[in-house]
Structure 1
Amino acid sequence: MATDDDHKAATEFPFNPNAPMAEPPGLQGDQVHQCETCGGGVIFTGPALSENCPYCNGSVVLGIEDKAYATMALVPFRVDQKYATNRITDWVSRRFAAPNDLASFAAEGRVANIYAPFWTFDSREAIEYWASYTTGSGDNRRRHHVSGKMDVYFDDLLVPASDHVTPLIRDGILHDFRPEYLRPYRAGYLAGFAAERHTMPVRKGLRLNAQDKDLLIRNKIRKRVGKRNTQVDRYRTDTTGIHYRRILLPVWILHYSYRDKPKKVVVSGIDGRTFGERPFCPWKLAGYSAILTTLVMALGLVWGATGIL
């Protein structure tokens, strides 16, 4: 499905937060299926038609056609269902202190696919900061205050463009994104897969991005100060050069239930990175704790007997 225009998929679009919104959503020509449990709206193309929501496994019903923003690009599924299922099986088998019957419950689950909506954001930040750190102890303990300026460039920060993209799904895809994998959006890529359209404006995406960006900025300030226990008291930033993309990213999701508690295992459709939710066996945890306690006590006795302590 490669074309001579594939390189254009990585194109980023400028955004001026001070300008009026100039891109109204439009009808995409797709019939939306609405989840009765989580409220997610997804489209099914070709044989992907399902009675269950890819996000939460709830029942879906045919809904009204909704307006959405045009998808600019996507990363096609690079991992098929067989490989994803093998990754899930391997992930489940490696869980520490898992119940003995976890694998059988997971095997009875349903594997769904979804093209989940994301933004990528670039920006330049001119930052002025005020921070402090402590040296010494006791009577020599001193608090030092520092300030400074720095420039930071953020490139391709990934932000979920849907309330239904949970932290688990986000983490399952976050580290796998590479712009060179992007392809221009074509409906043919969706054949056999579910997808959720972009329904949020860019301004909301920037607001959702603010919390992640705040954490990254504070970490960069601490690194610039270069002192242990640095506390960022405050900072201000002038944001310019905002660019964005509206993209779809591929995810496999296993929905299973353990003792009537729903859980998920997420596999990145890009490279198979796997994250998940799992139960613990309390008896195994208690046994491991007892063994560890015994070893620590025995080690203490040995050290005491040899006079090392």
Structure 2
Amino acid sequence: MTKLATLAQRDLLCSNCAGQCVYAPSTGTLTCNSCATEHQIIPDPNADPAAEQHYHPDMPHTEQPRFATDRHFQCDSCGGDVVFQGHSISENCPYCNGSLVEQAFDESFAILGMIPFAITDRAAQEKAQDWVKRRWAAPSNLGALISNCRVAGIYVPFWTFDSKEAIDYTVRYKKKVGKRSYTRSLSGSMKTYFDDLLMPASPHVTPLIRDGILHDFDPDKLRPFEPAYLAGFAAERHHQTVKQGLACNADDKALLLRNRIIRHSGKSNIVDVSYLTDTTGIKYRRILLPAWILHYEYEGQPMKVITCGLNGRTFGERPFSMLKLFTYAAVLSSLAAGFGFVWGALNIY
């Protein structure tokens, strides 16, 4: 049983006043909600977050140990399964804002590393406000909606995968000769590899959440897993086996391989790519990465904005103002008509 299962509520109480402590991204400490005393978090000096586990798909594989959790919550809307370190901080799902229902005893896989939150909820909301200001044709009240929305911090589960790929491929491409186009084929071989390929470890990690984190992930910033970093936040645990993780992310990996094949072929106007790859040297980590999810509604439609907990990169769902779209279209039409009139007048004379 790992630390997450054994860290007791008393371990999160302030030694100065016995108040409840939460992790503070601004200082990197456990900070008391009552007296503001800061307590240093000291990770296990023997833990190595850079360590990777080997996986051989053709051999019996022993998974990392599971840990037990006696208090976890499941969303009755999206099915998201989260835990809270210490006391429950919310009755709503951080993923979809649905209602959370406490569940009985459960198990999940051990976490090998994590990157704690580096920005606060207030900073996340400021990033979201800046994001709104840059949205073309956004409704005028969108900023006000974002400023009053619910902000949920959650550690989301990801994989890092390493692998070596020996590929035999065929590409079909179009070649133009004179006025006619022909389809040609080219076969080739190549070797490539993936190092710390970041992949979601849960169906609840949507493309919006993944993209909000993907561009800012630096494996050198991984730290040993320490439950104290979760205090005051929600976390989804790892439930996928390695085999399941590889299968769920096979389409994303295939797209990356296809793009590498296209570059290797040196051809343009490619219409089809087929290949066979021999995958070896698979290594993995189970990690947690931080995300702020901002929930709001526009005309009854639930929407969300994602701010990366690593450095604040922001992505989101947004509505459009029909009035602004109509105004922009009218202006563009007027400019086009004016340009046509001037062009016509110049050609007359």
TM-score of Structure 1 vs Structure 2, range by shorter chain? over 0.9
Give the corresponding residue for 1:71: 111
Give the corresponding residue for 1:92: 132
- Equivalent AA in structure 1 for residue 224 of structure 2: P
Select between 223-232 and 281-290 the one with higher mean Cα deviation: 223-232
| 1:243-271 per-position Cα deviation (integer Å, ceiling 9, x unaligned) | 10000000001011111110000000001
TM-score normalised to structure 1 length:
0.94
Give the corresponding residue for 1:35: 75
Matches of 1:299 and 1:185, distance apart in 2: 62
CA contact (8 A) 1:251 1:266 kept: yes
Give the corresponding residue for 1:81: 121
CA contact (8 A) 1:28 1:70 kept: no
Give the corresponding residue for 1:113: 153
| CA-CA distance at 1:168 after TM superposition | 0.8
1:101 aligns with 2:164: no
Give the corresponding residue for 2:295: 255
Give the corresponding residue for 1:207: 247
Give the corresponding residue for 1:192: 232
CA contact (8 A) 2:43 2:224 kept: no
1:126 aligns with 2:149: no
Change (3 A) 1:137 1:2: farther
Matches of 1:233 and 1:99, distance apart in 2: 43
SS at match of 1:188: helix
Give the corresponding residue for 2:183: 143
| CA-CA distance at 1:48 after TM superposition | 5.5
Change (3 A) 1:255 1:33: same
Matches of 1:304 and 1:207, distance apart in 2: 61
- Equivalent AA in structure 2 for residue 58 of structure 1: G
SS at match of 2:208: helix
| CA-CA distance at 1:142 after TM superposition | 2.4
SS at match of 1:172: helix
- Equivalent AA in structure 1 for residue 83 of structure 2: I
CA contact (8 A) 2:43 2:225 kept: no
Give the corresponding residue for 2:196: 156
CA contact (8 A) 1:168 1:275 kept: yes
Matches of 1:161 and 1:215, distance apart in 2: 18
Matches of 2:294 and 2:248, distance apart in 1: 27
Select between 61-70 and 92-101 the one with higher mean Cα deviation: 92-101
Matches of 2:233 and 2:273, distance apart in 1: 47
The structure whose residues are more often helix, as a share, is 1
CA contact (8 A) 1:134 1:142 kept: yes
1:177 aligns with 2:217: yes
| CA-CA distance at 1:26 after TM superposition | 2.6
1:241 aligns with 2:276: no
| 1:17-36 per-position Cα deviation (integer Å, ceiling 9, x unaligned) | 11223127633334111111
Matches of 2:312 and 2:46, distance apart in 1: 23
Structure 2: tracts of 5 or more residues without a match = 1-40
Matches of 1:119 and 1:60, distance apart in 2: 25
Match of 1:225 among 255, 265, 281: 265
Identity of aligned residues (%): 52
| CA-CA distance at 1:94 after TM superposition | 2.2
Instruction: Specify which structure has the bigger relative contact order, considering alpha-carbon pairs within 8 angstroms and separated by 6 or more residues.
Output: 1
Structure 1: tracts of 5 or more residues without a match = none
Matches of 2:122 and 2:179, distance apart in 1: 64
- Equivalent AA in structure 2 for residue 118 of structure 1: F
SS at match of 1:162: coil
RMSD, matched Cα = 1.9
- Equivalent AA in structure 2 for residue 286 of structure 1: F
| CA-CA distance at 1:147 after TM superposition | 0.6
1:306 aligns with 2:346: yes
CA contact (8 A) 1:48 1:191 kept: no
Where has structure 1 moved over 4 Å in runs of 4 or more? none
SS at match of 2:319: coil
| CA-CA distance at 1:307 after TM superposition | 3.6
Matches of 2:119 and 2:127, distance apart in 1: 10
TM-score normalised to structure 2 length:
0.84
Matches of 1:4 and 1:118, distance apart in 2: 21
| 1:137-193 per-position Cα deviation (integer Å, ceiling 9, x unaligned) | 565422221110000111111111111111111111111110111001111111111
1:273 aligns with 2:273: no
